Structure 1
């Protein structure tokens, strides 16, 4: 049976096109019944895509003398490289890459979502954090995702209007380009517009996602766009004329058309009219959105200085905490991906995730003790809780300046999804963009507007707003940004030169993916490509298992780790690590072999 028949037979049997649309839109309860596996296919196990390219089959090493771009889609990389070849700088290239990803990696990222950027000025060395995280509507209530006394299932929350936050990506990119770009804003959209109008071969990963996720066939917004194009041919093309029109308007009119014009009206209408639960987002919410610039969080790991994201992302603090605890051990003396190494990373991660829940939220609402959480004395005391060869019974948060272990604190399991995309740009002047962007779950809220998908980022809030009678730092609040796990990192050597930039996709797994790559380069003396291709292993805190990548050396350590007391799960972990590393003559790029991406430069 050919691909088109596999799609059409079960989906169209006995139903006209008109009736199928009525079933999908007017029959939400039937759709929800059919979506019973949504949390398994669409969200929680998006990292487990069957048929994904195996780890450790790395692309050939890519080096460059002048500039380099790495991202999860080769067309987006080419768009950025062309901007650099034509005299643009890193920020110009970043706009072109992100807009191309909006089309070519639509399930992961786009203008309907948000993101964070680290920008390093090549002349001054100054690092600026740009915060384009989505915000909750002004009418949002703390019990947004509660159903009576119980928290809403993630698979039910994601495709509802309640999950949609005010998108921040367009405003953030425009502000950052205004600060550092050199080419006209409109010019940088042209590669993405051309691709969306003319089409490209459908990315391999997108084809795998469509084939494996049958929930995409239930909702019109994904069925009519992705599934129909995929099913039309054995060599499907991806086109999006509606997105081309939208990008052309934003290019010509700037962010005003997105936040105040008809695009904003379309976003509000689509989110508010979502079946089952509509959003409370308004035009005023759209008009009032403002991106933020912040100071990054920076800390030391052995001889290197690392800078990452400040809250509302937990990524910078968590990565620095994990590495700060690992600094007490000779990681370089351990074999890469040995049971001993995995154990130490897992235990440090458990402690960091406990602090993450207890302290990190939007700094406009929560006083986050960022410096104290990454202070050397505090991390030394936390590291003393780790025993070699024996897993902790339970990991609890500590208190900077107080007890290293708060026995009575509760650390519940949280609901999180696994989408997102990461890219890096370095230009010939040494300017750098290290950026992670997202619409949250793969395919976001599965609500398509004017050619792009709306995010479901508000499901990053902690669904149950109180534990033990206390309001949690990441509870929903009006105009609040949900906590993120995005972890773009810049590493400087003792001379102050950038040694490495790296980041990943993967929801709360991002933190573990990035730590693995950093340990690979900084402790195990691997190239960035080798470190990215290392088998994935990570721990996301209480209520979660120690996760090992199936079919790799990490999976062979499962029994040894179980003997240490770990709850172990072996599964396919589809990261999306991309990085760039300094060489004697320029730069070396790294692209994740589990994805479609590449590294390219001159």
Structure 2
């Protein structure tokens, strides 16, 4: 794994690569995060590793491994911890994808827990009177929120593949929210740059800024009592502690403040979907990734298929020639994404064709090694829309060879900007 800093139980926070490896070997697990910290170095651990965007969340997962939990236990603990320490992307009010590879099973499972559209959603709900898209309504409103899936997804994974109880894996996140966490440099910067739209919601202003409206600075302690209470309710009651009862009532009450569409029935009916992973090969290695509705998995395989036809080593890492074929491969995959990708529950996605090596061979013939392709020649009139970079990913391996990879998001950084009053978490703007 490559990243910024390693942490091991009973080891100092800042370590050299060699010391990090020694501590990992001694303790059996290693937490690892690259977040505004030390230079990147390869880090090796014999008995387990957690890689996450925030060091505290990675530490939580590593401690679960040290307690004897498996990769799924650690991943769920890390996910709930990220909702506390990295709320611009870690979440209860968003959705995600989880890949699970269990060492005793010859398969890779993909758990889809993205947000679902409320039953009352309409195709014209973001249009103004002139028939044009109202961007504020589509991005920064209660109407932009889909039914959250993160809580159900993590709990389903724990129930199916985990070995520890909800109480055990959620206790660290509850403690972090209740006792407070030191604000990192990145979190402080995110709060500063996002205040314009977070401050439109009284609850978000209360949760993420000081009483006088000023910013939390790096090193300040942020306590989230309402979030701690919500996490504790989920710990006690499971999915019913979020999708029914008090928390569900608070979500619906928040919807009613701004014309949102999520109902109690929508929350009660939410479910995850288990799908077969997208698979491929690259120079003899098996590659597994998330299937649609995620767009990433198919096109990772597609890009690798194209790149397999080049001698990348001879080109030199990050040389002009290397970057040229990499970029041109990505451009072709992204062009296909804009045309062919959709939700497989409603749209027939040509997975086999897009990941076929013969198709990659054809795409490779369209790449001129001496110049960049004209965009119109890749896909006429195609322009890729801006997408927020405020999504977080974390990966876990345990000593038994089980592995988990999770991508979770609120869509934009801090989602819709609206928090559920009384529950302490932000709502997505996935719609």
| TM-score bin, normalised by smaller chain | 0.7 to 0.9
CA separation in 1, counterparts of 2:46 and 2:218?
39
CA separation in 1, counterparts of 2:97 and 2:242?
19
Tell whether 2:403 aligns with 1:444: no
CA separation in 1, counterparts of 2:216 and 2:123?
44
Tell whether 2:177 aligns with 1:187: no
Tell whether 2:277 aligns with 1:293: no
SS at match of 2:375: coil
Q: What residue in structure 2 maps to residue 20 of structure 1?
A: none
Match of 2:244 among 260, 282, 288: 260
Q: What residue in structure 1 maps to residue 387 of structure 2?
A: 416
Q: Which structure 2 residues correspond to residues 22-37 of structure 1 after superposition, within 5 A?
A: none
CA contact (8 A) 1:354 1:396 kept: no
User: How far does residue 375 in structure 1 lie from its aligned partner after superposition?
Assistant: 0.3
Tell whether 2:93 aligns with 1:109: no
Q: What residue in structure 2 maps to residue 356 of structure 1?
A: 337
Give the number of aligned pairs.
391
Q: What residue in structure 2 maps to residue 316 of structure 1?
A: 297
SS at match of 1:146: coil
Deviant stretches of 4+, over 4 Å: none
User: How far does residue 395 in structure 1 lie from its aligned partner after superposition?
Assistant: 4.8
Q: What residue in structure 2 maps to residue 552 of structure 1?
A: none
Q: 1:190 to 1:53 in 2, by over 3 A?
A: closer
CA separation in 2, counterparts of 1:346 and 1:144?
37
Q: 1:234 to 1:87 in 2, by over 3 A?
A: closer
Superimposed CA distance per residue, residues 172-219 of structure 1 (whole angstroms, 9 cap, x where no aligned partner): 111111111111122211001111111121122111112334414444
Q: What residue in structure 1 maps to residue 202 of structure 2?
A: 220
Match of 1:394 among 375, 387, 408: 375
Tell whether 2:410 aligns with 1:428: no
CA contact (8 A) 2:183 2:217 kept: no
Q: 1:296 to 1:107 in 2, by over 3 A?
A: same
CA contact (8 A) 1:355 1:396 kept: no
Tell whether 2:347 aligns with 1:366: yes
User: How far does residue 302 in structure 1 lie from its aligned partner after superposition?
Assistant: 2.0
TM-score by length of 2: 0.86
Q: What residue in structure 2 maps to residue 567 of structure 1?
A: none
SS at match of 1:63: coil
Superimposed CA distance per residue, residues 151-183 of structure 1 (whole angstroms, 9 cap, x where no aligned partner): 333x55221122101001111111111111111
CA contact (8 A) 1:116 1:133 kept: yes
CA separation in 2, counterparts of 1:234 and 1:356?
39
Q: Which structure 2 residues correspond to residues 117-136 of structure 1 after superposition, within 5 A?
A: 117-136=98-117
Q: What residue in structure 1 maps to residue 22 of structure 2?
A: none
CA separation in 1, counterparts of 2:175 and 2:279?
40
CA separation in 2, counterparts of 1:134 and 1:220?
24
Q: 1:425 to 1:413 in 2, by over 3 A?
A: closer
* Higher mean displacement: 171-180 or 225-234: 225-234
User: How far does residue 412 in structure 1 lie from its aligned partner after superposition?
Assistant: 4.0
Q: What residue in structure 2 maps to residue 25 of structure 1?
A: none
Q: Which structure 2 residues correspond to residues 76-87 of structure 1 after superposition, within 5 A?
A: 76-87=57-68
Unpaired runs of 5+ in structure 2?
1-34
Q: What residue in structure 2 maps to residue 453 of structure 1?
A: 426
Q: 1:292 to 1:321 in 2, by over 3 A?
A: same
Tell whether 2:227 aligns with 1:243: yes
Unpaired runs of 5+ in structure 1?
1-51, 398-406, 459-602
Q: What residue in structure 2 maps to residue 328 of structure 1?
A: 309
CA separation in 1, counterparts of 2:395 and 2:106?
17
SS at match of 1:437: strand
Q: Which structure 2 residues correspond to residues 124-203 of structure 1 after superposition, within 5 A?
A: 124-147=105-128, 148-153=130-135, 155-203=136-184
User: How far does residue 238 in structure 1 lie from its aligned partner after superposition?
Assistant: 1.2
* Aligned-CA RMSD value: 2.0
CA contact (8 A) 2:188 2:215 kept: no
Q: 1:330 to 1:124 in 2, by over 3 A?
A: same
SS at match of 2:44: strand
TM-score by length of 1: 0.62
User: How far does residue 347 in structure 1 lie from its aligned partner after superposition?
Assistant: 1.5
CA contact (8 A) 1:221 1:446 kept: no
Superimposed CA distance per residue, residues 309-368 of structure 1 (whole angstroms, 9 cap, x where no aligned partner): 100001011111112112222211122222222222221112111111111111010000
Superimposed CA distance per residue, residues 400-451 of structure 1 (whole angstroms, 9 cap, x where no aligned partner): xxxxxxx7x5434435322111111111111111111111111111111111
User: How far does residue 53 in structure 1 lie from its aligned partner after superposition?
Assistant: 4.5
User: How far does residue 63 in structure 1 lie from its aligned partner after superposition?
Assistant: 2.2
